[in-house]
Chain A
């Protein structure tokens, strides 16, 4: 009996090609994602640690993010704010020297935005800070983070690290606290 493997190959070859193409695609996709997408915890130009500042040394959030109680945007502190302390504090550390090089060149630090809302959402920090909402309610346990990671408020009220915000999180809090007109679309959408 003459058994040929040619018919089997005819079926297997395209299947094998397909598998290889998919595998290569997956590897390329993973590489592109890791290289080009900043992700939930991008590396910042200066390895600023919220754990050291807000956690260990208990600096209040509003000491640096002064705009949060006055304007819609919480604001990133100016370099002068950092230097205000770091002329005296921990001046020998390499990251502080990096900071001082920005100060001496009179350049802003190009921080990478982590918590970002879509263009069609209006959110005001002022109203929420004045309503005595803890920053951690939405931003997660920032005082334990060496590098800021996206975090969102879960429906049960605890912070979920690594998940971006979704509309349901805003709505669940607005419903719980019975905010006046809090679930009207135009309250947040613009």
Chain B
């Protein structure tokens, strides 16, 4: 078999729906929009956990903001009958991710746990992935960001401080997943149990609108939540097969 046909076989297998079923985990998140109050606690928690820089007013005006999770606001109607709804938006960890097909150096790829990985030291900063991403959740480091002293003391040592020219995005808190797997291994347990590990945004959500877990575990909270009749996925018509499920807001 030639190298090319081997490559193409691997590629077809990789893009086929259900490919990730043969592995141990398939990390998934659900977001209940009925419970979301738009308080942005998740945004702050993410900022603290993942060493995300504060870019400042001028850079923000140029559209160079950094927030791996953001709250989008939607207004409906006119005052006094205006209605406001929120939707938290972060990397959807699509199983058929458009960003992965375009990276020329393979810095972003899908790993066996259903995570869309971003490998910072391999990234050369073409920003093609950000163009391909339909959710607009990839953020680029235009500068080497600095933390005013003593703020650099609160940086998370388990997360890289990204340098200039590197693309970054939500990782589902890979450092916490790794930690949970480490603990599970110590206890001679094969799998990480439900609720053992939560990303920073899920942990901090005051209304418990965000649920995180392993889709493979059918007893898990996230499995029940993602099969809720209200569930939908953002831009599902693009066939991205994303791992973040939203539960629709129901008007009373």
Contacts and interface: CB of A to CB of B under 8 A. Distances in A.
A177 to B, nearest CB: 15
A72 to B, nearest CB: 9
A172 B109 CA distance: 21
A181 B112 contact: yes
A126 interface: yes
Interface string B117-140: 101111000000000000000000
Interface string A124-154: 1011000000000000000000000000000
A32 interface: no
Contact of A119 (B117, B122, B161, B175): B161
A175 to B, nearest CB: 16
A137 B77 CA distance: 68
Contact of B160 (A184, A185, A190): A190
B213 to A, nearest CB: 18
Given A185-B111, A189-B120, A190-B160, A127 B178 contact: no
A124 B213 CA distance: 24
A123 to B, nearest CB: 11
| Interface range on chain A (Cβ under 8 Å from partner) | 10 to 19
A189 B119 CA distance: 7
A120 B117 contact: no
Chain A interface SS verdict (over half): loop
Contacts of A189: 119-121
B21 interface: no
Contacts of A184: 111-112
Contacts of B178: 122, 186, 190
A127 B185 contact: yes
Most B CB contacts (10 A, CB to CB) among A127, A184, A189, A190 go to A190
A190 B159 contact: yes
A119 B117 CA distance: 17
Interface residues of B, number: 19
A186 B115 contact: yes
A190 B177 CA distance: 11
Contacts of A185: 109, 111, 117, 119, 122
B174 A120 contact: no
Contacts of A120: 120-121, 160
Nearest to B120: A120
B144 interface: no
A14 interface: no
Contact of B174 (A119, A126, A181, A186): A186
Contacts of B158: 122, 190
A118 B121 contact: yes
Interface string A166-190: 0000000000000001001110011
Most A CB contacts (10 A, CB to CB) among B113, B115, B119 go to B119
B160 A119 contact: yes
Given A185-B109, A186-B119, 16 more contacts: A119-B160, A120-B120, A120-B160, A124-B182, A181-B112, A184-B111, A184-B112, A185-B117, A185-B122, A186-B115, A186-B174, A186-B178, A189-B120, A190-B159, A190-B160, A190-B175
User: 6 smallest A-B Cβ distances: which pairs?
Assistant: A120-B160, A120-B121, A185-B119, A186-B117, A189-B119, A184-B111
Interface of A: 118-120, 122, 124, 126-127, 181, 184-186, 189-190
